[in-house]
């Protein structure tokens, strides 16, 4: 029989593990919006490509070079991230660069890219669900609760990247340039910040976060060409709860929806958890449309 303490710890562990990936994904979304002023619906496709390539490359590398699962996953993730960044650079150069801070134009472009890439991924990778072998077999038990070691690895990597991103934004010249551009692009340009270069780098950092979250999801979920759509919806829910353009808000929102998933999913099911998320969003839009940690736009 599950004790109350074990249940609380188990739900907390589930929340932290799932929330860490949601946070990474949402941070990419909110960073791109903050810097470029566009909502990138293609963000989910960068996630999908990272997850799909990882799920394809892990067994291929193991068969070709006799690698262990963990080593194959490391190399596969690195290759996948580079591929996503190359695609993101092309998408920016030939697409988003022409629609900076153009809400309508960027919306049409990103929705078109979403549909295009989803079709391409289905054609290239097929519709068969893919599963990556366990990268760290075993489990850790804490106060009667259990978490798979591979989920603990995913959580640790996500936390490290989130902390590094925060430190970069807070304490580096590049981070200050991104924050200044997000606050007031015109004033930032007058201070000598290269606006176009900063916009490109901001887009690439956001795309990198999407790729990493896709790679980290590959070992713990079933991967299909449509997997990014689910995370895109949760990403938007995350930034609505936390506040669009707010880095602390993305962290808060990601952990919030993970908590809803864990608690409601445990007592009811996944469908009720999804309904619960949308109810929270609807209520929040009525009472605080800027999000819990967002700022009122004047």
Helices (H), the chain: 4-36, 43-65, 69-94, 103-125, 149-171, 173-183, 185-190, 195-217, 227-242, 247-267, 270-287
pLDDT for the residue 298: 38
Paired tokens of 294:
């967002």
pLDDT for the residue 185: 67
Q: For residue 292, is pLDDT > 50?
A: yes
Average pLDDT over residues 224-248: 89
Mean pLDDT of the chain: 89
DSSP H or E run through 147? strand 145-148
Q: For residue 253, is pLDDT > 70?
A: yes
Residue 88 · residue 204 · CB < 8 Å = yes
Distance CA 237, CA 285 (A): 11
Interval 77-110: pLDDT, tens: 999 999 999 999 999 999 988 887 777 888 899 9
Interval 24-74: pLDDT, tens: 999 999 888 877 777 889 999 999 999 999 999 999 999 999 999 999 999
Whole-prediction pTM value?
0.92
SS3 146: strand
Residue 239 · residue 250 · CB < 8 Å = yes
Residue position matching structure tokens 């902390």: 163
Distance CA 283, CA 234 (A): 16
Average pLDDT over residues 283-290: 88
Pick the closest to residue 42 from 102, 101, 99, 107 (CA basis). 107
Distance CA 125, CA 61 (A): 17
SS3 22: helix
Pick the closest to residue 139 from 156, 153, 120, 123 (CA basis). 153
**According to the per-residue pLDDT averaged within each range, which of 54-63, 170-179, 185-194, 260-269 is highest?**
54-63
Domain range list for the chain: 14-228
Q: For residue 5, is pLDDT > 90?
A: no
> Residue 159 — very low, low, confident or very high, per pLDDT cuts 50/70/90?
very high
CA distances 252 to 3, 25, 42, 188, Å, are 28, 13, 23, 28
> Residue 190 — very low, low, confident or very high, per pLDDT cuts 50/70/90?
low
Residue 267 · residue 274 · CB < 8 Å = no
Distance CA 289, CA 247 (A): 17
Interval 109-154: pLDDT, tens: 999 999 999 999 999 999 889 999 999 999 988 888 888 999 999 9
SS3 139: strand
Paired tokens of 278:
């949308």
Residue 203 · residue 88 · CB < 8 Å = yes
Distance CA 150, CA 135 (A): 6
Contacts of 16 (CB under 8 A, 6+ apart): 155, 255, 258
Distance CA 185, CA 35 (A): 8
Contacts of 107 (CB under 8 A, 6+ apart): 38, 39, 41
pLDDT for the residue 181: 77
Average pLDDT over residues 179-203: 77
> Cα dihedral sign for 102, 104, 107, 108?
negative
């Amino acid at each position: 029989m599950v004790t109350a303490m074990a249940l609380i710890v188990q739900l907390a562990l589930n929340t932290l593990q799932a929330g860490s990936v949601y946070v990474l994904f949402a941070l990419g979304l909110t960073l791109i919006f903050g810097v470029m002023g566009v909502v990138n619906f293609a963000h989910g496709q960068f996630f999908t490509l990272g997850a799909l390539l990882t799920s394809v490359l892990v067994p291929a590398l193991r068969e070709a070079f006799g690698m262990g699962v963990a080593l194959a996953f490391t190399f596969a993730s690195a290759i996948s991230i580079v591929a996503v960044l190359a695609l993101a650079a092309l998408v920016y150069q030939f697409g988003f660069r022409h629609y900076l801070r153009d809400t309508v134009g960027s919306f049409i472009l990103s929705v078109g890219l979403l549909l295009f890439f989803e079709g391409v991924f289905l054609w290239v990778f097929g519709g068969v669900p893919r599963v990556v072998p366990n990268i760290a077999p075993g489990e850790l038990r804490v106060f009667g609760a259990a978490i798979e070691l591979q989920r603990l690895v995913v959580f640790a990597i996500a936390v490290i990247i989130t902390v590094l991103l925060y430190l970069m934004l807070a304490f580096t010249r590049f981070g200050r340039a991104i924050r200044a551009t997000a606050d007031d692009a015109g004033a930032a340009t007058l201070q000598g910040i290269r606006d176009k270069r900063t916009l490109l780098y901001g887009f690439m950092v956001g795309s990198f976060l999407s790729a990493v979250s896709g790679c980290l999801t590959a070992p713990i979920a079933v991967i299909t060409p449509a997997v990014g759509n689910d995370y895109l919806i949760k990403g938007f829910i995350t930034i609505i709860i936390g506040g669009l353009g707010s880095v602390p808000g993305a962290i808060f929102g990601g952990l919030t929806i993970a908590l809803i998933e864990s608690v409601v999913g445990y007592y009811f099911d996944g469908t009720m958890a999804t309904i619960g998320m949308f109810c929270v969003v609807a209520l929040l839009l009525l009472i605080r449309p800027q999000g819990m940690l967002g700022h009122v736009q004047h």
